[in-house]
Amino acid sequence: MLYNKGMPVVLYFRLMNNPKHPAFDVTKCKKDGQCSTFNFKYPPHIVDGLTGLTEFTMMEHKEDITEILQAVSGVHHGGKAEKAK
């Protein structure tokens, strides 16, 4: 995929269990309704679990994120469009 200045960039990480980070059970959280799209009030333990899972996932995919952001940054600063994976 080639990037251009007008193209928005979305990095999407689906909310799902990560076997490498078993400290938070997304399936249980969804089943209990606490991780529902329509729930806007989270108890502190759910906030801690979600932020911990998010941080772990971001660090796990750090190289991919960096590569994408560098490719996009180059285009937005007058660089040449690079092909991303």
Q: Give domain limits for the chain.
A: 1-85
- In the chain, the percentage of residues whose pLDDT exceeds 90 is 59
More confident residue, 48 or 8: 48
> In this structure, what token pair is assigned to residue 60?
């796990």
Q: Does pLDDT of 54 surpass 70?
A: yes
The band of 82, judged by pLDDT with boundaries at 50, 70 and 90, is low
Q: Does pLDDT of 63 surpass 90?
A: yes
> Is the pTM of the predicted complex or chain greater than 0.85?
no
Instruction: Tokens 């040449």: give the residue.
Output: 80
